[in-house]
Every structure is written in structure tokens, then in C-alpha cells.
Structure 1
Amino acid sequence: MLTIHTAPLLRTRWDGAPVPEGAVVVSGDRIEAVGTLDEAVGRFPAARVRRWPGTLGPALVHDGPLPDAPSPRERVYAVMRTGAAAVVARHVSEPALRDAARRSGLRVLDAAGTPALAPGARADLTVLGDTGECLATVLAGRVLHRRR
């Protein structure tokens, strides 16, 4: 199923210029297209449209110790609540923590990089509010965190 994720502002890279009324078209776990909402709806008229407040952009990479929590699963989820879809490997050296990351879909990377939204890339997205708080995290096309 195709889903168009849209927000008042889109950033294909967090250090790039914002695109007003931007959209990311997601098919399964991949990005199909990136552009304006009008372009996305014109190209994919049958797609479901999910409207988010704030700024839509690439999911973040968590480069630090994972937050404390009672279980590895809860530590991984705490990272997702920050808008991250990946962690740096040196911070998840415990086997139980790596397993929880793998099961959730959280990627474990050798080093932090600068994520970007582009066709063909894994659909890892985040939505940030006006004060920088994470409103939603999408991992591989699935909404895994949404602030109520």
C-alpha cells in the first residue's frame, strides 16, 4: 500500500532548505518519491495521505548511550521516541540490546552519518514539532512511535 506522509515543512536533509507542503511517498519499507504534496498526489492519486503537524524529515541517528529503562526493549523504544531509527554500534554492545534493536527494526550503524530522504532509501522518517520534540517516528515504513 502506498502512503504519502506530508507536513507543513519537509526537509530531505536536516541541514538542507525546507520544502513547504512537502511529501514523502512510501511503498512498503522504501521511499518511492520525495517532493511537494501536489506532486505526490498527482503521481499517486490512490495513495493514502497521512498528514503530520510540524516538520517531516529523515529519522535521526542516536549517537550516545541508550536511555536507562527496565528492559532492552524499553531502552530501544526510548530511542525511537527521540525520532531516531538508527543507533551507533558502540552504544549497543550488549547482546540483549542488539537483539532488541534488530527485532524492532532499529538499525545499528558502524558510525553516525547524515541521513537523507531519497527514492529507493529505507523509509525511516521523523516528525518534529515546533520546539524540536519528536511527534512521530517511522521505521521502514511503519509508524512505531506517535505522540498523542
Structure 2
Amino acid sequence: MLTIHVDSRGRALAVRGEWIADAGPLEEVAAAHPPARVREWPGILTSGLVNLHGTELLEEAYHPDPREADRLGTEPLTGDALAALDLDDVRWGASARRGVQRMLAHGTVAAACEPLRNRAVQDAVRRTGLGIVGRLGRPAGIPSLDPCACGLPLEFPPARERGSAARFAVFDVADEAELAERGSGTCLATVVAGRLVYRRR
């Protein structure tokens, strides 16, 4: 089944399986794929965001389970708070899955990481479909689930076009400048490997 995603600017992406089958103005894409289902989104459709602090957020932070919120809170634990936890592979893997889910809720489709050393984290991240891009050394800025809040310019993957991976996000803003100003908490939806992996309720 082919689905066309379109934003308020009329920018459309036709998705078939894990790939972009077509991209361009809605009128052209819809005319080329008449039986497709059309999903309209307010705001802007983008190629999604790259979180530059993937290692820090996935392998050097613990994302508490909601059932632990009364004891550990809801924010990622790092430093001494992380060191005080006795984490086995099961808890590391679960933390990484929760961390990825929180990244997806911010329109993140890829994270920049040094090679991940924790096997449980590697496996958990691979299963989520989050893209991993390499990096050399530590980036500046403050690690944050919101890439707009880390103090660095926003980084987007290459624009989605015909034949590229179906990996993108929709933000409830008028343009990229408003996105940078209001932050990625404005994310409405994130698509990875052609699947809607996050949708704001």
C-alpha cells in the first residue's frame, strides 16, 4: 500500500514499504499515484533531525522506566546518579529503547555516535531502526533529547527524494526557523523505515 504524506506547504512524500517512491508537490505526486492513501499533516514535513549527542544519551545515560519515576524521576540520569545504579544488560537495553523512543518523539531519525561499546545498547538501538551516523570525538553543546536545545545548529539528514529511505518527521511549525525557535517538542510524527513510529496524541 502506497501512502502519500503531505504538509501544509503542499510538500509530499509517497512511501512504499521502507522507501520513498516519489517526492514533490502534492498535485504531481498524487497524479502519479492515483490509488494512494493521502495523509495530511499540519506544519512542515522535513527529513527529520540528527541528534549529535547519541553516545551521551544512549550509552552514558539511564532513561528511567515510568514505574521508577517516583524514585528516579523522569529525566535521563548521568554522572554520579548513573554510577549509583547497578545496571545489568537487561536494564541497559530497556533504557536504550526508552531513550530512542524519546528521541523519536522529538523528530530525531538518526543519532551521531562514537562506536557503541555496550552490546545491550547496540542491540536495542539496532532493533528500533534509529539511524546511526559516525562521529569523531565529542561534539560541543549540551546533550539533550531536543536537538534544538543543545546549543548547536540543527542538523538534518539529506532531503528525502525518490529512492531514498522513508525516514522523516513532521513538525507543527511554519518553517525551519520557527522549529529552531520553538524546539523539537513541536514534533507531530516521525517515520522510520516507512513506519509511523511516533505520533503525537
Residue 43 of structure 2 corresponds to 54
Separation in structure 2 between the aligned mates of residue 115 and residue 99 of structure 1, nearest angstrom: 26
More strand by share: 1
Aligned length: 137
Sequence identity, in percent?
Answer: 39
CA deviations on 1:116-147 (whole Å, 9 max, x unpaired) are 11111101010011244111100011000001
**Cα pair 1:59 1:115 within 8 Å, conserved:** no
Q: Tell me, what secondary structure is at the counterpart of 2:114?
A: helix
2:132 aligned residue (108, 126, 132): 108
Superposed counterparts of 1:1-148, under 5 Å:
1-9=1-9, 21-64=10-53, 65-66=56-57, 68-70=62-64, 71-90=95-114, 92-111=116-135, 114-130=157-173, 131-132=182-183, 133-148=186-201
> Which amino acid counterpart does residue 121 of structure 1 have in structure 2?
S
Distance 1:147 1:50, change over 3 A: same
More helix by share: 2
Q: Which runs of 5 or more residues in structure 2 are unaligned?
A: 65-94, 136-154, 174-181
> Which amino acid counterpart does residue 161 of structure 2 have in structure 1?
A
CA deviations on 1:47-85 (whole Å, 9 max, x unpaired) are 111111110010211111327412221011111111011
Separation in structure 1 between the aligned mates of residue 105 and residue 40 of structure 2, nearest angstrom: 19
Rg: which structure is higher?
A: 2
> Which amino acid counterpart does residue 106 of structure 1 have in structure 2?
L
